Structure 1
Amino acid sequence: MQWQREREPAVSPLGDGQASSDGQASSDGSLPRWLRPLYEAEEMRAADAYTIEQVSVPSLELMERAGTGLARVCAERAHRDPIVVVIGKGNNAGDGLVCARHLRAEGREVEVLALFAPEELSGDARTNLERLPGDRPKPFARERLEGAALICDALLGTGARGAPRPPFDAAIAAINDSGAPIVACDIPSGVDATTGEVPGAAVRAHATATFHASKVGLHVRPGAEHAGEVVEIEIGIARDAPRPRRCGLISEEVARLYPPRSRYGHKFRTGFVLVVGGSVGLTGAPALAALAAQRAGAGYVQLALPASVRDVVDARLLEQMCLAFPERDGTHDPVSVERLGELAARVGCVALGPGLGRTEAAIAFARAAAAALPVPIVLDADGLGAHAGELELLATRRAPTVLTPHEGELARLLAVDVDEVRAHRLRSAREAARRAQAICLLKGDDTLVALPDGRVAISAGGSPALATAGTGDVLTGIIAAFVARGMEPLAATCFAVLAHARAGAAAARRLGADHVIARDVIDELPAAIAGPGGPAPPAEVGGPRFPRRLG
């Protein structure tokens, strides 16, 4: 292991780089600079309170700026009148009333519908009710939404938790059923701003005008599916106000950490990846992982395969070396783990699991290999399945571990129903990372990369082209290559997510999203890794949920 220690002196078992000069997370648990901070509800409340109490910015002034920005977002999307603003009775109602006032000042026809009697409004919301010119708010009724050119949802704010109760639930259903475009105020009503969970009725917005900065719940499913385009409205929160410390969007800045290949380097020092997997009938997965690793920059890739499938995989590959290992029942024999450990002594990263199979021998081999290997591993597919309900087995590893499950795999790892993971993606990813003391990458358009300490990096979005067989194996190969090249594991995993999304978007533009296969994604990797200068510009990656700023 002397070679490994010399090559990667800054890598810790959990991927928490100590140095801040290269953009890594510091030892105090703050977010790396290449993550664009996303606020939880409590973090946003703290920033508001600091600005109001410590910097003496009146809360009424913050509300004015929020409502002004909301009005602009509504005006841009309403090409005719009337615009209907639906309000509750909290601060969101005040934002909605400011919005209605500015739209009326511009000559727009605006109707305000209130779920509660106006006298129930208080504080800044009551002040803005008194400032509203023209007609007073009318009681909410479903039929009053008919003919609306646009509906502004100002019912519930970021502080709301749990399923909306009456009369909110019925109003949300009516708004969704109206058929009109919907702009949400700060967060779609019914979406949890901190988790993205949707425990009951929730508005399905076409756009969300969110204040100061974006919220976690706008980027994590199922909440992300309700957000539409996310537009950030600058409202004047103090620059030195408390900042988010737990979640952030993966930004293009992470690409700067990809180490260039030295002219004096050689194949072993530019990334040595070992792919361990394959079994009878499952030979494509390790081949795809190996191809992706080399396209992603690994200088040398070997595959450890059961003897009976070595020739099958070898026939598909040219630059990668295939090694035959003892087998049992068509897959790896657990007795070969010792040989695997000897082989891994010079390896930068091991991709363990693609095509391994689910026999008893495969499960025993995967568990023994994960426990014994002294180098970073990316655990995928059947390597994950071998640890179903036994995540704690991975917690004793001393080298970095990256888990790459989809929702079904994560459900099996946690021994819960898949619907539980689907409804609580953020919580589930964090739980797996904590129990395994590993990085947990939960796949999806909102791919989540969770650390054991609760910090989470979130993908701004990928491409539907990636929803095809084999692209998960490609992602595994990319992560392994980046780690083997010396990137800190968290940064390597996040940049792999970004490059994978870029490559998928580029392949979709070339072939159409319905026609992309995993090999097409591999073909696009060089340009995707190179960045915006290639054919897959970052704007394609973010899609409608990557926040754009409205000052």
Structure 2
Amino acid sequence: MDRVLTAAEMRQCDRTAIESVGIPSFILMENAGRAVSEEIAKTVCGVADKHVLIIAGKGNNGGDGFVAARHLSNSGAMVTVALLADPGLLSGDALANYAILEHMAKNQENIRLLRVEPGNIKDLASLPHVDIIVDAILGTGFSGELLDPLKSAIQWINNQDAFVVAIDIPSGIDADTGRCTTAVRANLTVTMGLRKRGILLNEGRVHSGEIRVADISIPRFVFDQLDQGTFLISASDVALRLPRRPFNAHKHSVGKIFVLAGSPGFTGAAAMASMAAMRSGAGAVVLGIPKSLNSILEEKVTEVMTVPLSETSDGTLSLDAMTDMKPYREWADVLLVGPGLSRNSETQDLVQKLVREINRPMILDADGLNAFAGKPEIFLQHAKVPIVITPHAGELSRLLGIPVDEIETHRIDVARAAAKELDVVVLLKGAPSVVGIPSGDVYINSTGNPGMATAGAGDVLSGIIAALIGQGMKSEEAAFAGMYVHGAAGDRAASELGVRGMIATDILDRVPGVFMELDKHGEI
């Protein structure tokens, strides 16, 4: 599982590598710059006779660019290094590497140094055609507002018809949140050591293009010493944790799921959540619904068993359903509560009572969460059983009273804090979805696409997670594995149908294929 770092964590690791391990900072910069040049050459099939423009700031990101310039020049590229600062402001390793370029420029025709004065971005415009632009301006230390000449240089980069490569992170992107006002739009980002949060979140995800991680020789144990982890989930992480189907399995040994869902107008939510559990390997699924909807759901689902429960005058589940469902609650390995339940007050009372008294693992989704909107103190009375909640930013905002924009900007930190505060696993849906667990670790999804912003997609997700818990996975592992599978199924749907026309059942239909691929992966 690959860690994802904040800017402060990366600085800490750099410091440890230099001061405790004894790796000179000059070596780290050399490794970084060489890695950038190698990734460029690999991507564009060689750099010989190509014009590469490296636009550099005065810090270590610029120093990485100076090293890359040397290696690209040695590989036959025509290299121009445009420095957006007075050379007298350079220091340390960056200054040493710039001095090397000055010697090279005096003796080689294929390297040129250019000083760009504030307000004179026209100096860049006067250059001959550029094939590749390397962004070595700011790096991970940036936050706040961009000023000239940096802002103008970034705007100029974005207007060029060239392949753009960012060193570590596109300049202008906040390394921790991914937010920006003006930032480089890169085709390729070569990030050092490990991924930074900002290239996976918010605008940073779009601006970073393809992401490649460069090993700059910091030992793995340095990263492992960090206190709490943020991790990017991959296919192998999921495949290695999926429960294996025993040869002597029977339907009651591989997950018994009780789904409490549905209300007038929302029978689809109940059907999709239930079928997603079946398609994810559950042996048996029982769907509890308001009794007036039973005939509809019997038509919608074939393999799922339906149970008509007591209902209110609005046709939603009533408090009396608590007694009706008792045999199924005791039969089930896990409960899924919420898809399409409605916000009827008596139905919400039912959900609150169930959460207090349940003695089985539970997934709370949609209206299962809305029953606690503005009432976190009531939710905190939940039974001490494994619980997974699956809110989008709006639902979590209603539960905890945190503004939606704050949740979107700081989704990793919010998911971590919410999981600790509520003592549950929090799957915060979005771009990207993240899972926070009470211990403090957070898992970031690497799958998914904008086409999944469609009604019913969340119902499919909750069903997948319920099935995985029913098959024996720990709640936190089921949450991040389900999140990955859901996104991968969505990616398959998008590749076949496009993001505009795909719907939730398209995701559902592709879930089995994702599991089949992961099962093969896990057998290797």
> What SS class does the counterpart of residue 417 from structure 2 fall into?
helix
Q: Equivalent of 2:33, from 67, 70, 75?
A: 67
Residue-by-residue CA offset, 1:28-87 (whole Å, 9 max, x unaligned): xxxxxxx22222223222322222223322111111111111122334456774322111
The offset of 1:179, in angstroms, is: 4.6
How far apart, in 1, do the equivalents of 2:261 and 2:143 lie?
A: 44
How far apart, in 2, do the equivalents of 1:481 and 1:75 lie?
A: 46
1:522-533 pair list within 5 angstroms: 522-531=508-517
> Does 2:19 correspond to 1:53?
yes
How far apart, in 1, do the equivalents of 2:338 and 2:180 lie?
A: 35
For 2:138, the aligned partner's letter is L
How far apart, in 2, do the equivalents of 1:144 and 1:375 lie?
A: 68
Question: TM-score scaled to structure 2, two decimals?
Answer: 0.89
Identity within the alignment, %: 38
How far apart, in 1, do the equivalents of 2:348 and 2:363 lie?
A: 16
The offset of 1:215, in angstroms, is: 1.8
The offset of 1:348, in angstroms, is: 1.4
- Which residue in the other structure is 2:8 paired with? 42
How far apart, in 2, do the equivalents of 1:481 and 1:63 lie?
A: 48
Contact 1:277 1:354 in 2 (8 A): yes
> Does 2:135 correspond to 1:153?
yes
> What SS class does the counterpart of residue 140 from structure 2 fall into?
coil
Contact 2:273 2:339 in 1 (8 A): yes
How far apart, in 1, do the equivalents of 2:447 and 2:489 lie?
A: 12
How far apart, in 1, do the equivalents of 2:214 and 2:184 lie?
A: 20
> What SS class does the counterpart of residue 264 from structure 2 fall into?
coil
> Does 2:85 correspond to 1:116?
yes
* 124-133 vs 331-340, which moves further: 331-340
> What SS class does the counterpart of residue 21 from structure 2 fall into?
coil
Q: Equivalent of 2:165, from 175, 178, 183?
A: 183
Contact 2:232 2:444 in 1 (8 A): yes
**Number of residue pairs aligned between Structure 1 and Structure 2:** 501
For 1:231, the aligned partner's letter is R
- Which residue in the other structure is 1:278 paired with? 262
The offset of 1:342, in angstroms, is: 4.8
The offset of 1:217, in angstroms, is: 2.1
Residue-by-residue CA offset, 1:381-409 (whole Å, 9 max, x unaligned): 11122222223433333011111122332
Residues 1:162 and 1:427: Cα distance change in structure 2 (over 3 Å): farther
Residues 1:387 and 1:174: Cα distance change in structure 2 (over 3 Å): farther
Residues 1:339 and 1:168: Cα distance change in structure 2 (over 3 Å): farther
> Does 2:232 correspond to 1:249?
yes
* 47-56 vs 111-120, which moves further: 47-56
Contact 1:341 1:372 in 2 (8 A): no
The offset of 1:221, in angstroms, is: 2.4
How far apart, in 1, do the equivalents of 2:402 and 2:389 lie?
A: 17
Which is higher, the Rg of structure 1 or of structure 2? 2
Contact 2:151 2:182 in 1 (8 A): yes
How far apart, in 2, do the equivalents of 1:226 and 1:155 lie?
A: 15
> Does 2:248 correspond to 1:264?
yes
Contact 2:259 2:286 in 1 (8 A): yes
Question: TM-score scaled to structure 1, two decimals?
Answer: 0.85
Between 1 and 2, higher relative CO (CA 8 Å, sep ≥ 6) is seen in: 1
1:159-170 pair list within 5 angstroms: 159-170=141-152
- Which residue in the other structure is 1:13 paired with? none
Q: Point out where structure 1 has 5 or more consecutive residues left out of the alignment.
A: 1-34, 539-551
How far apart, in 2, do the equivalents of 1:447 and 1:453 lie?
A: 18
- Which residue in the other structure is 1:103 paired with? 72
The offset of 1:314, in angstroms, is: 1.4
* 315-324 vs 170-179, which moves further: 170-179
- Which residue in the other structure is 1:394 paired with? 379
The offset of 1:495, in angstroms, is: 1.2
Residues 1:148 and 1:409: Cα distance change in structure 2 (over 3 Å): farther
Q: Equivalent of 2:360, from 362, 375, 381?
A: 375
The offset of 1:199, in angstroms, is: 4.8
Q: Equivalent of 2:281, from 284, 297, 300?
A: 297
- Which residue in the other structure is 1:468 paired with? 454
How far apart, in 2, do the equivalents of 1:400 and 1:533 lie?
A: 26
How far apart, in 2, do the equivalents of 1:163 and 1:271 lie?
A: 53
How far apart, in 1, do the equivalents of 2:326 and 2:2 lie?
A: 39
Residues 1:239 and 1:355: Cα distance change in structure 2 (over 3 Å): closer
- Which residue in the other structure is 1:20 paired with? none
Residue-by-residue CA offset, 1:271-304 (whole Å, 9 max, x unaligned): 0111111111110001000001011111110111
How far apart, in 2, do the equivalents of 1:179 and 1:412 lie?
A: 45
- Which residue in the other structure is 1:333 paired with? 318
Residue-by-residue CA offset, 1:352-383 (whole Å, 9 max, x unaligned): 11011122223322222222222111111111
Q: Point out where structure 2 has 5 or more consecutive residues left out of the alignment.
A: 106-111
> Does 2:202 correspond to 1:221?
yes
